[in-house]
Amino acid sequence: MRVRQHPSLKAFNTFGVEAAAGSMLILEQEEDLLSLPPFDPDRDLVLGGGSNILLVGDVPGTVWHNRLTGKAIVERADGHAWVEAGAGENWHDLVRWSLEQGLSGLENLSLIPGQAGAAPMQNIGAYGVDLASVLESVTAWDLVRNCWAAFDLQSCALAYRDSRFKSAEPGRYLITSIRLRLDTQFEAKLDYSGLREELTRAGIEKPTALEVSDAVVRLRRDKLPDPEILGNAGSFFKNPILSRNDASKLTGHYPELPAWPQPGGQIKISAAWMIEHCGLKGHRVGDAGVSDRHALVLVNHGSASGGDLFRLATTVQASVHSKFGVLLDPEPRIINFAS
């Protein structure tokens, strides 16, 4: 374990906003957890890659930064292989490594920034697949009781951009490793709009898992701003999920609004489309902006503060609410210990 006093968090969040912490503990092995001071959720923060947070203020206490690494195939049986990965592994590197091992299941989740340990937090999802389809279990350190905890898939309560760790018991657990059930026989999932077309453009009819991963990477690079170049946290709002009745009233008024039926009869609608149709795509207030490439992404054009981005998010929310009557729910964790 390493300790840094008063670090800047600018390089530790993909928005690239300036914020400070009292101190930072860099966790490098599980044994570190046994000798740590108590975690105070009102002052301390567990941090992975910082790609799904907005720092509106400083962290008065300690940032617990996860660097618990290691990945291995631990079992093989009946067309499956089980992979265990330390929470501090980079997610995309884990995806590509699994493909190199001849395992599939993660290819549609390529190029999502951040760490493996954060993946269950909001059940990461993209291109028609989410973590729930491959996650078998999670091991975590209980920060309240100071002991180990294990969760099978069901007890993680994964849902669209949600989990037990994000909603029911936020800040209680530090995830230390995840266990995934991957496939040794590849079955392509190409139904997400644009994916099959991207493969066809590349002249590929029957893709390998690696080719699907490459296609997802190309699509994502084309659609989303690269946080290395323009600070952002991916989608800033979740796509709202409405009752069939509410959704059909809206699509009655706005037949072009993209809407996707969900299991259980609800309908998910496109937040990006509504933001764009409020005239906000490319909108900018100082250095805080709505991306001109994707309306669901807020961007830091240089020296926006967390507060600037938060105020812009509030404006976007108010515009969408006033035009469509729908309240957008932020996806990243807004970190404001002062409020």
Q: Within 13 Å and on the Cβ side, how many CA atoms surround 272?
A: 15
Unique residue bearing structure tokens 């994916």: 195
Helix axes 209-223, 91-100, angle to 10 degrees: 150
Which of ligand FAD, ligand EPU, none does residue 258 bind to, with CB < 5 to 8 Å depending on kind? ligand EPU
Q: Which is nearer to ligand EPU, 123 or 137 (CB)?
A: 123
By CB under 6 A, is residue 134 in contact with ligand FAD? no
By CB under 6 A, is residue 227 in contact with ligand FAD? yes
* Contact map string, positions 257 to 276, toward ligand EPU, x by CB under 6 A: -x-----------x-xx--x
> Which of the stretches 177-185, 204-212, 231-239, 318-326 binds ligand EPU when contact is defined by CB under 6 A?
231-239
311 catalytic? Reply is no
> Which of the stretches 18-26, 112-120, 272-280, 313-321 binds ligand FAD when contact is defined by CB under 6 A?
112-120
Where does residue 305 fall: left (phi above 0), alpha (psi -120 to 50 degrees), or beta otherwise? beta
How far apart are the C-alpha atoms of 128 and 110, rounded to whole Å?
A: 12
Of the residues 98, 161, 164, 305, only one is catalytic, namely 161
Cβ-in-10-Å burial (0-12, 13-18, 19+) of 2 comes to exposed
Give Dmax over CA atoms of the chain in angstroms: 59
H helices present in 146-270, as ranges: 195-201, 209-223, 244-253
CA-based Rg of the chain, rounded to a whole angstrom?
20
331 catalytic? Reply is yes
What is the smallest separation between the CB atom of 238 and ligand EPU, expressed in angstroms? 5
Of the residues 51, 133, 137, 235, only one is catalytic, namely 235
By CB under 6 A, is residue 231 in contact with ligand FAD? no
Unique residue bearing structure tokens 């890659």: 49
By CB under 6 A, is residue 125 in contact with ligand FAD? yes
By CB under 6 A, is residue 61 in contact with ligand FAD? no
By CB under 6 A, is residue 126 in contact with ligand EPU? yes
Determine contact, residues 275/289, Cβ cutoff 8 Å.
no
How far apart are the C-alpha atoms of 113 and 53, rounded to whole Å?
A: 12
Which of ligand FAD, ligand EPU, none does residue 281 bind to, with CB < 5 to 8 Å depending on kind? ligand EPU
Which of ligand EPU, ligand FAD, none does residue 231 bind to, with CB < 5 to 8 Å depending on kind? none
Determine contact, residues 86/195, Cβ cutoff 8 Å.
no
Positions 14 through 53 that interact with ligand FAD (CB under 6 A): 14, 45-53
Positions 283 through 302 that interact with ligand EPU (CB under 6 A): 294-296
Summarize as ranges the residues that interact with ligand EPU (CB under 6 A).
126-127, 192-193, 223, 234-235, 238-239, 258, 270, 272-273, 276, 281, 294-296, 331
